[in-house]
Amino acid sequence: MGRSPCCEKAHTNKGAWTKEEDDRLIAYIRAHGDGCWRSLPKAAGLLRCGKSCRLRWINYLRPDLKRGNFTEDEDELIIKLHSLLGNKWSLIAARLPGRTDNEIKNYWNTHIRRKLVSRGIDPSTHKLRKETTVSREVNTISFLGDKDVEEDNPDKIFLDKDEKIKKILVEEKCPDLNLDLKISLPAEPSIENGGKTSACFVCTLGVQNSKDCSCCNFAATAHGSSSSKGNSNGYENLGVWK
DNA sequence: AACCTGGACAACCGCGCGCTG
DNA sequence: TCAGCGCGCGGTTGTCCAGGT
């Protein structure tokens, strides 16, 4: 039994969006806000699938999008986050304000992948390729071998993974990367951190109120990050501080 | 000038997950 | 408890365009 189609395909436009369709979508979302994508096309007078509207808005029409080329810093950040998160483009995009998952995914496939290959690094594993003569250091993050523990206590292994990620990336792989990752929430600041708004690495991975959650415990324990030293490199609101 | 090729990016498709009744 | 619905995500495809032959 197949899944029912998300919309009536017979009477929906496909392909590139016209200026008029864009204007209609923008006007409707400005007036009513986004969400409820299934009913939005009809309400906005668009002959489009709701998913198509959502994609168009998120990837192209949203006012807070940062158009234009990726900077070298963004490149490196994407590479580091990809080595940590894999193809979790939405998670990566969450740490790059103004960039969308689709944009990052495309950029990865067209630019960064090639860049890594030219450096002799396998883009999918972040390992140095065997044929290179460069010394082989730890270049990947593996959770293999924790299977027994994971089955017994999934929560524990999650926190252990968090610590492992921090250890490998901070101490061995990316000594310049602070993995107290934080996502800014532009509309609704929740946690004040010396003027910054952020959620800690543990929270961003979905483990809130844990003992390792630095933002949930923020009142009691201040982040020991470089932010308190005023050491800014423009990534404060990404939560990735050098 | 015409054709071919590959890069870049917008858009589509199918699936998984969470929510709700 | 479970089925249906809607949303979001990641992979894939389609289209446009610039550069090369």
Span A188-218, pLDDT tens digits? 333 333 333 333 443 443 333 333 343 433 3
Q: Which nucleotides of B are covered by protein (CB under 7 A)?
A: 7-15
The alpha helices in A86-129, defined as continuous H runs, are 89-94, 101-107, 113-118
Which of A132 and A42 is assigned the larger pLDDT? A42
Please tell me the predicted confidence (pLDDT) of residue A155. 40
- Show Cβ contacts of residue A94 under 8 Å, excluding neighbours closer than 6 positions: A183, A204
pLDDT band at A11 (very low <50, low <70, confident <90, very high): low
**No. of H helices and E strands in chain A?**
10, 2
Please tell me the predicted confidence (pLDDT) of residue A131. 53
Kindly report, residue by residue over A50-65, the tens digit of the pLDDT: 888 888 888 888 888 8
Count Cβ neighbours within 10 Å for each residue of A11-43 and write b for 16 or more, e otherwise. ebeeeebeeebeebbbebbeeeebeebeebbee
The protein residues having a beta carbon less than 7 Å from any atom of strand C are A 4, 6, 15-16, 35-38, 50-51, 54, 87-91, 101-102, 105-106, 109
CA–CA distance, A11 with A132 (Å, rounded to integer): 55
pLDDT band at A35 (very low <50, low <70, confident <90, very high): confident
From the CA of A194 to the C1' of B7: give the distance in Å: 44
pLDDT band at A8 (very low <50, low <70, confident <90, very high): low
pLDDT exceeds 80 at position A87: yes
From the CA of A15 to the C1' of C7: give the distance in Å: 21
From the CA of A59 to the C1' of B16: give the distance in Å: 21
Task: Give the residues across from A196 on adjacent strands.
Answer: A193
Please tell me the predicted confidence (pLDDT) of residue A21. 87
pLDDT band at A160 (very low <50, low <70, confident <90, very high): very low
Which domains occur in chain A, in start order? 10-61 (1.10.10.60), 72-172 (1.10.10.60)
**Mean pLDDT of all residues in A21-33:** 86
3-class secondary-structure state, position A121: strand
**Mean pLDDT of all residues in A168-191:** 42
